[in-house]
């Protein structure tokens, strides 16, 4: 994560404030956390819920979220054995920022697409 | 931007809802928009305000934000000539989501760093 020199602008210079941007810098992180909002889900359920994500990419995403303390993996000694994934208490606190982002996209996404159409890159 | 097949979960399948994640998927996008919140800024002023960003990366970031209709570049025929960058009306609406993200980082950033320390990647 980028850590700039101290500037007059604490919000930008503070490393912790940038953590959220970094966490959501991979689209799948936010989407996967959101797909876990109603409770624990198995790998296959998550894939179906998210749509358009490969098994490999979902596995990588879940590992990344685990590493950052946002998701917890649980293995149950049942027959057949079961593994599911759930939000941690910390992961749950990220749902609000994700919801605010998603709501913005719903409201303003078309304006962004329109701007892209009007402007050659 | 990923566009999955239609799923039972409209929020995840909707392309527009993913636009915000994509826009903020580059950390510098959010940080640069935030640095413009108080009004127009010149390139050099922005660099100083943000901290830790190279001139080249800032130029690329500003072009990307222009392309997405979030920032407007204005050139003034003064002596010496002046160029500045400002949020568009659309760009201004992104300040709230960015603020929510930043606030989360302030509150919970340390917990993420702690989780990373405790868990081998």
Position A31 scores a pLDDT of 87
Q: Which domain covers residue B112, as residue numbers?
A: 10-118
pLDDT band at A3 (very low <50, low <70, confident <90, very high): very low
Q: Which of A38, A23, A22, A33 is nearest to A62 (CA)?
A: A33
Q: From residue A35, how far is each of A57, B6, B9, B58, B73 by CA, in Å?
A: 15, 14, 8, 34, 38
Q: Which of A19, A20, A1, A18 is nearest to A9 (CA)?
A: A18
Q: How far is B62 from chain A (nearest CA, A)?
A: 12
Q: Is B59 an 8 Å CB contact of chain A? A: no
- In this prediction the pTM is 0.75
What residues of B are in contact with residue A22 (Cβ under 8 Å)? 27
Position B17 scores a pLDDT of 64
Q: Is the pLDDT of residue A15 over 70?
A: no
Domain count, chain A: 1
Give the whole-angstrom CA distance, residue A29 versus residue B21.
9
Instruction: Determine the angle formed by the axes of helices B43-50 and B55-67, rounding to 10 degrees.
Output: 110
- Decide if A3 is inside a domain: no
Q: How far is A78 from chain B (nearest CA, A)?
A: 26
What residues of A are in contact with residue B112 (Cβ under 8 Å)? 19, 23, 68-70, 90
Q: Is B10 an 8 Å CB contact of chain A? A: no
Q: How far is A86 from chain B (nearest CA, A)?
A: 16
- Decide if A90 is inside a domain: yes
Q: Chain-centre distance of CA B98, in angstroms?
A: 8
- Decide if B18 is inside a domain: yes
Three-class SS state of B79: coil
Which of A30-44, A69-83, B17-31, B39-53 has the lowest average pLDDT? B17-31
Q: Is A121 an 8 Å CB contact of chain B? A: yes
Give the whole-angstrom CA distance, residue A61 versus residue B59.
31
- Decide if A67 is inside a domain: yes
pLDDT band at B14 (very low <50, low <70, confident <90, very high): low
User: H helices of A2-118, where?
Assistant: 10-13, 15-23, 27-35, 43-50, 55-67, 89-93, 95-118
Position B28 scores a pLDDT of 87
Q: Is B48 an 8 Å CB contact of chain A? A: yes
- Decide if A28 is inside a domain: yes
Give the ipTM of the model, two decimals please.
0.79
Q: Is the pLDDT of residue A84 over 60?
A: yes
- Decide if A55 is inside a domain: yes
- Decide if B82 is inside a domain: yes
Q: Is the pLDDT of residue A6 over 90?
A: no
Give the whole-angstrom CA distance, residue A106 versus residue B32.
22
- Decide if B2 is inside a domain: no
Q: What is the CATH number of the domain that holds A21?
A: 1.10.10.10
Which of A64-68, B10-14, B42-46, B103-107 has the lowest average pLDDT? B10-14
């Amino acid at each position: 994560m980028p850590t700039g020199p101290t500037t007059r602008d604490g919000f930008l210079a503070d490393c912790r404030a940038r953590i959220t941007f970094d966490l959501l810098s991979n689209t799948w992180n936010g989407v996967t956390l959101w797909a876990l909002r109603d409770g624990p889900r198995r790998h296959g359920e998550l894939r179906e819920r998210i749509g358009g994500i490969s098994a490999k990419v979902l596995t990588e995403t879940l590992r990344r979220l685990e590493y950052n303390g946002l998701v917890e993996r649980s293995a149950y000694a049942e027959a057949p054995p079961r593994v599911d994934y759930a939000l941690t208490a910390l992961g749950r606190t990220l749902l609000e920022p994700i919801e605010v982002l998603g709501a913005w996209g719903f409201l303003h996404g078309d304006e962004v697409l329109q701007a892209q159409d009007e402007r050659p890159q």
